[in-house]
């Protein structure tokens, strides 16, 4: 009904605009015709006054059409319009209330493989939800919010469900986009209702997927409704203490765009970073997905050949292989079924990190150079450097951060005798910090000279220790992880 009314209004407006256009054209034609054919009948100023008056009427009509929405605010609404808007708002509110419902999840940590380090961090939260007295006894409060950060497909939602399943508590799932509404105030109302329902069902877990949809930094792409919703979320997270039994878990793959207020202590003060699974992790994930199924291939080899696959991609791989097995009326999953599935995933669905052998060599050389220079643990698909967090950075510390970000690119240039672009974000970060050293901190005179000096030192260091870098590269190709 509402859609038909909106459609009729639009058609009516289009017709009015066309009629005004036709009227304007007719008037102009008449005006020109009279000027050419009837000069002798124009006497005095009355004729010109009439023409000017007609033009004023036309401009007024166009102005009313253009600014009709602003003018509507000052015109009292009739009863029908008020009823229409109220019924739309009530329908929206009813939808919101109906969608905020807890679910009981049967997923546990046994159903999630390849995330041993993440499990350790989250087991503490599960224990708190199961045994709150143990912590309240010592007046210990757990984090109000846990932020899961990682690329798409690594299992952020599955992990949140597993935490709820392990603790046997209600699980409230909401996507960030579901808070953004066309009616002002509806998003904030949804946030309030979500927290009220969760508190009533405590202990409980609230999970907000893709929180960046509502949690972007305020002032960036200004949107009053989104900012009002974010402010309400911040207020609600301040409004309950760590012993309320409600834990908020959120997921994002864009932590850099989130508002700083969300990340401060007392809100999402615990962050769990998830990366693409390593070779050993992939083997565990494949074992889980192939449990109870018959197959004729070597699992370690398959794990090695699926570099860059997320857990979701591995699930798809097994599913596609099973479909191919059924299609050929087989009883076991064969190597050919897996090859066919891999081709479908690679060419049918875009996989950013599906690498051939040459690409793996390039990436391993890049990461080996980075590991050698930074002296940090590096995984094959890691992007970014764990920069030293200090309140008072020295020039040497800043130069080291620049060097760590440039080391991979310089290593490729030295070892493979040609420049490559691998992680563009690290090049941008190096330039950004170099710019700050020159312009903000006044520690150097030229950004270009600073970058060139650091590159020269890196080239010399990597060339001198090329054998060490190559050993790290071989380790990365074998295990996909290098620990210092």
Over residues 68-99, the pLDDT tens digits come to 666 655 655 555 455 555 555 555 445 445 56
Backbone angles phi, psi at 388, to 5 degrees: -70, 125
Q: Which residues pair with 333 in a beta bridge?
A: 295
Name the pTM for this structure: 0.62
Report the pLDDT value the prediction gives residue 465, as an integer from 0 to 100.
94
Residues 6 or more apart in contact with residue 423 via CB below 8 angstroms: 366, 383, 384, 408
Strands 246-252 and 204-209: parallel
Residues 6 or more apart in contact with residue 32 via CB below 8 angstroms: none
Tens of pLDDT, residue by residue over 142-174, are 778 899 998 888 888 889 899 888 888 889 988
Give the mean model confidence (pLDDT) for residues 432-457: 93
Q: What's the CA gap between 208 and 144, in Å, rounded?
A: 13
Question: What is the fold, at CATH topology level, of the domain defined by 279-348?
Answer: Helicase, Ruva Protein; domain 3 (1.10.8)
Q: Is the pLDDT of residue 452 over 90?
A: yes
Q: Other CB atoms closer than 10 Å to residue 129's CB: what's the count?
A: 22
Instruction: Give the pLDDT band of residue 351 (cuts 50, 70, 90).
Output: very low
Give the mean model confidence (pLDDT) for residues 218-229: 70
Q: Is the pLDDT of residue 14 over 60?
A: no
Cα-Cα-Cα-Cα dihedral sign, residues 428, 429, 434, 436: positive
Instruction: Give the pLDDT band of residue 223 (cuts 50, 70, 90).
Output: low
Mutual orientation of helices 357-374 and 395-415 as an angle, nearest 10°? Answer: 150
Instruction: Give the pLDDT band of residue 2 (cuts 50, 70, 90).
Output: very low
Q: What's the CA gap between 292 and 328, in Å, rounded?
A: 20
Report the pLDDT value the prediction gives residue 19, as an integer from 0 to 100.
63
Residues 6 or more apart in contact with residue 152 via CB below 8 angstroms: 253, 310, 312
Give the mean model confidence (pLDDT) for residues 17-40: 62
Contact 286, 303 (CB under 8 A): yes
Q: Is the pLDDT of residue 34 over 70?
A: no
Instruction: Name which of 85-94, 329-338, 343-352, 429-438 the model is least confident about.
Output: 85-94
DSSP element (H, E) containing 451:
helix 447-464
Nearest to 310 by CA among 276, 347, 345: 276
Q: Which residues pair with 378 in a beta bridge?
A: 482
Nearest to 112 by CA among 57, 173, 165: 165
Report the pLDDT value the prediction gives residue 308, as an integer from 0 to 100.
79
Give the mean model confidence (pLDDT) for residues 31-58: 60
Most trustworthy range by pLDDT among 71-75, 336-340, 402-406: 402-406
Report the pLDDT value the prediction gives residue 202, as an integer from 0 to 100.
81
109-273, which class in CATH? Answer: alpha beta
Contact 310, 298 (CB under 8 A): no
Question: What is the fold, at CATH topology level, of the domain defined by 357-482?
Answer: Methane Monooxygenase Hydroxylase; Chain G, domain 1 (1.20.58)
Instruction: Give the pLDDT band of residue 1 (cuts 50, 70, 90).
Output: very low
Report the pLDDT value the prediction gives residue 359, as an integer from 0 to 100.
86
State how far Cα 364 lies from the chain centre: 27
Q: Is the pLDDT of residue 301 over 80?
A: yes
Q: 141 versus 11: which is more confidently predicted?
A: 141
Nearest to 244 by CA among 275, 202, 276, 280: 202
Q: What's the CA gap between 162 and 167, in Å, rounded?
A: 8
Instruction: Give the pLDDT band of residue 181 (cuts 50, 70, 90).
Output: low
- For tokens 């605009």, name the residue: 17
Report the pLDDT value the prediction gives residue 122, as an integer from 0 to 100.
85
Instruction: Give the pLDDT band of residue 406 (cuts 50, 70, 90).
Output: very high
Nearest to 153 by CA among 46, 68, 274: 274
Residues 6 or more apart in contact with residue 304 via CB below 8 angstroms: 279
Percent of the chain with pLDDT over 90: 21
Percent of the chain with pLDDT over 70: 74
Q: Is the pLDDT of residue 205 over 70?
A: yes
Q: What's the CA gap between 449 and 456, in Å, rounded?
A: 10
């Amino acid at each position: 009904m509402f859609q038909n009314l909106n459609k009729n209004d639009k058609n009516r407006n289009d017709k009015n605009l066309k009629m005004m256009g036709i009227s304007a054209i007719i008037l102009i034609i008449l005006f020109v015709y009279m000027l050419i054919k009837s000069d002798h009948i124009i006497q005095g100023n009355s004729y010109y006054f009439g023409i000017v008056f007609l033009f004023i009427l036309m401009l007024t009509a166009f102005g009313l059409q253009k600014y009709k929405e602003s003018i509507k605010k000052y015109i009292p609404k009739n009863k029908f319009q008020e009823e229409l808007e109220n019924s739309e708002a009530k329908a929206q509110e009813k939808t919101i209330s109906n969608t905020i419902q807890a679910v009981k999840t049967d997923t546990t940590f046994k159903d999630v493989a390849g995330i041993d380090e993440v499990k350790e961090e989250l087991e503490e939260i599960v224990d708190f939800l199961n045994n709150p007295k143990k912590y309240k006894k010592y007046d210990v409060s757990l984090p109000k919010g846990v932020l899961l950060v990682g690329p798409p497909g690594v299992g952020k939602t599955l992990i949140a469900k597993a935490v709820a399943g392990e603790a046997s508590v209600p699980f409230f799932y909401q996507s960030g986009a579901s808070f953004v509404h066309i009616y002002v105030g509806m998003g904030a109302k949804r946030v309030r209702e979500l927290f009220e329902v969760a508190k009533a069902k405590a202990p409980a877990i609230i999970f907000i997927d893709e929180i960046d949809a509502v949690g972007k930094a305020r002032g960036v792409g200004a949107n009053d409704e989104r900012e009002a919703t974010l402010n309400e979320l911040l207020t609600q997270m301040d409004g309950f203490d760590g012993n309320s039994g409600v834990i908020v878990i959120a997921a994002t793959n864009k932590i850099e765009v989130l508002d700083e207020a969300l990340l401060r202590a007392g809100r999402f003060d615990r962050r769990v970073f998830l990366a693409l699974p390593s070779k050993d992790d992939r083997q565990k994930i494949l074992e889980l997905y192939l449990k109870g199924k018959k197959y004729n291939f070597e699992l370690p080899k398959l794990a090695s050949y699926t570099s860059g696959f997320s857990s979701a991609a591995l699930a798809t791989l097994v599913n596609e292989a099973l479909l191919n097995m059924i299609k050929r009326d087989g009883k076991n999953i064969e190597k050919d079924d897996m090859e066919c599935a891999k081709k479908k995933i690679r060419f049918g669905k875009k996989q950013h990190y599906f690498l051939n052998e040459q690409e793996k060599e390039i990436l391993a050389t890049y990461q080996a150079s980075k590991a050698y220079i930074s002296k940090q643990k590096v995984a094959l698909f890691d992007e970014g450097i764990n920069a030293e967090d200090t309140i008072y950075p020295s020039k040497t510390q800043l130069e080291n951060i620049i060097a760590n970000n440039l080391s991979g690119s310089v290593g490729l240039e030295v070892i493979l005798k040609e420049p490559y672009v691998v992680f563009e974000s690290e090049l941008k970060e190096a330039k950004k910090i170099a710019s700050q050293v020159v312009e903000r901190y006044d520690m150097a005179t030229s950004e270009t000279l600073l970058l060139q000096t650091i590159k020269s030192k890196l080239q010399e260091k990597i060339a001198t220790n090329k054998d060490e870098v190559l050993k790290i590269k071989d380790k990365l190709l074998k295990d996909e992880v290098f620990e210092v």
